[in-house]
Amino acid sequence: MIGFLDCYSGISGDMCLGAVVDAGVPLEVLSDALDGMRLGGFVRLDSREVHRGVLRGTQVEVVAEPGQPHRTFRDIVDLLDGARLEARVRDQARSVFRRLVEVEGRIHGASPEDVELHEVGAIDSIADVVGTVAGLAHLGVEALYASSLPVSTGEITGRHHGALPAPSPAALDILAAAGAPLRPFGGGRELVTPTGAAIAATLARFEQPPMRLVRVGYGAGGAELPWPNVLRLWLGEPVADGEHGVAQREPTHVVVETSIDDMSPQLLAPVTASLAAAGALDVTFSPLSMKKGRQGVLVAVVARAEDEAAIADVLLRETTTLGVRVHDVRRHEAERAFEKVETPYGAVAVKLKLVSGRVVGAMPEFESVRAAADAASAPLLRVHQSAAAAAQALLEGPTRQGGSSGA
């Protein structure tokens, strides 16, 4: 699955959060990600359908007790490192915040590690970043792209810095470093926030890919503007080389591999985390016999083509290998959709695998099972078995459009 951020009216953290929910991510998936950060139980997410001009969309609001502390980058890293999050979600969220603190450090002449993030360090912005990354992972988005961004000059007011020129210095610095394409639009309003700029610059490539569209999610901005204030998340499948007259494209993915026979498995295993942070989609270790009868291991990493250099760098720096091999590949993937099933322990989210619109697999979502088990004080295995049995009925249902959430 690939995604395209259509930033007609800009991009902000809350618009990204609304777009992934509108695209089919159950709200409890994002809530589980925040619960995993152990923020203290004073945070919840609310979503509602709103209209911005003639378009409808989803607005997600982060509700928390007042008086939340400002946090430094060190504080946020500690929260992420201790969180119950997928490694890729944790690493990508850390990368977004790293980009923010480096910019703030340059602007204010401070060490990035000690920068106090004020607005972007507030609980709602932490929720925006972590929720967006977790939502994209839940949707199965393996490559994200973004359109040009609308900016115009004017004046904005920050809660801690008073009057500032628009776009904000932080957002403008992030966009400059990323080489983001800009277009004049907005009448002096701040349509691209620092958090939105950091999400786009860190997670996306600024180009529109050929794709077969599956569905679109609309994330509503908080302000009523003279135009539809929405961010659209397009989701679809890459168009195959030469299909429907589309020009031949470079392979979208690579396999980076190397053979190692002089490194302890205990030292090799932790390299997986570094590879995930560099963009690895899959890492496998396979035993093999090498020259002179030595036993070794084949390390194979699947990644997006644009992450090839970063993956190779990790393998060369953190293993004993002297070289890596790279193979261009293309991936074929089943579509995903999400529905809820009722069990004696409450509703549980189920991930559906679709081929040609037909459901061929159904698996309960682990975090949803755990939440139901905790709420019902029931054994996790029993709740999982009950949800799996209820999910079997979905295999016999009618053909579906990919991405139907049912949530």
pLDDT digits (tens, 9 = 90+) for 331-352: 777 787 888 999 999 999 998 8
Q: Tell me the average pLDDT across 127-137.
A: 95
* Total of domains in the chain: 3
Amino acid identity of residue 173, one-letter, is D
Q: Report the pLDDT value the prediction gives residue 117, as an integer from 0 to 100.
A: 61
Domain annotation covers residue 248: no
pLDDT band at 164; cut points 50, 70, 90: confident
The answer on 303 and 377 residing in a single domain is no
Residue 245 predicted with pLDDT over 50: no
The answer on 96 and 43 residing in a single domain is yes
Q: Which of 329, 356, 375 is the last residue of a domain?
A: 329
Residue with tokens 């590690």: 113
**Token couple for 57:** 């969309």
In the predicted model, what is the mean pLDDT of the chain?
86
Q: Report the pLDDT value the prediction gives residue 246, as an integer from 0 to 100.
A: 45
The answer on 205 and 291 residing in a single domain is no
Domain annotation covers residue 245: no
Domain annotation covers residue 322: yes
Q: Report the pLDDT value the prediction gives residue 247, as an integer from 0 to 100.
A: 46
Contact between 301 and 311 (Cβ < 8 Å): yes
The answer on 299 and 213 residing in a single domain is no
Q: Report the pLDDT value the prediction gives residue 405, as an integer from 0 to 100.
A: 36
Q: Tell me the average pLDDT across 236-243.
A: 72
Omega before 251 within 30 of 0, i.e. cis: no
The answer on 174 and 204 residing in a single domain is yes
The answer on 71 and 44 residing in a single domain is yes
- Weakest mean pLDDT among 19-23, 101-105, 203-207: 101-105
Q: Tell me the average pLDDT across 241-247.
A: 49
Q: 337 vs 22, which has greater pLDDT?
A: 22
Q: Residue 217 pairs with which residues in a beta bridge?
A: 233
Q: Which of 272, 296, 329 is the last residue of a domain?
A: 329
Domain containing residue 272: 253-329
The answer on 165 and 52 residing in a single domain is yes
Q: Report the pLDDT value the prediction gives residue 77, as an integer from 0 to 100.
A: 86
Q: Tell me the average pLDDT across 229-258.
A: 77
The answer on 207 and 62 residing in a single domain is yes
Residue 143 predicted with pLDDT over 80: yes
Residue 36 predicted with pLDDT over 90: no
The answer on 221 and 114 residing in a single domain is yes
Domain annotation covers residue 263: yes
The answer on 231 and 100 residing in a single domain is yes
pLDDT band at 314; cut points 50, 70, 90: very high
Per-residue pLDDT tens digits for 39-64: 755 678 899 999 999 999 999 998 87
Q: Which of 214, 238, 262 is the last residue of a domain?
A: 238
Omega before 167 within 30 of 0, i.e. cis: yes
The answer on 339 and 325 residing in a single domain is no
CATH of the domain at 302: 3.30.70.1380
Domain annotation covers residue 402: no
Per-residue pLDDT tens digits for 377-395: 999 999 999 999 999 888 8
pLDDT band at 357; cut points 50, 70, 90: confident
- Weakest mean pLDDT among 141-145, 174-178, 295-299, 391-395: 391-395
Per-residue pLDDT tens digits for 153-162: 877 665 555 5
Tally of residues, the chain: 407
Dist. CA 177–CA 100, nearest whole Å: 12
Domain annotation covers residue 406: no
Q: Report the pLDDT value the prediction gives residue 403, as an integer from 0 to 100.
A: 45
% of the chain residues with pLDDT over 70: 86
Q: Report the pLDDT value the prediction gives residue 81, as an integer from 0 to 100.
A: 87
Per-residue pLDDT tens digits for 206-225: 999 999 999 999 999 999 99
Dist. CA 382–CA 156, nearest whole Å: 54
Termini Cα distance of the chain: 20
Q: Tell me the average pLDDT across 235-254.
A: 68
Q: Tell me the average pLDDT across 233-237.
A: 96
Q: Report the pLDDT value the prediction gives residue 407, as an integer from 0 to 100.
A: 31
Dist. CA 351–CA 334, nearest whole Å: 12
Domain annotation covers residue 42: yes
Q: Tell me the average pLDDT across 162-186.
A: 86
CATH of the domain at 390: 3.10.20
CA-nearest of 260, 256, 322, 257 to 291 is 260
The answer on 207 and 170 residing in a single domain is yes
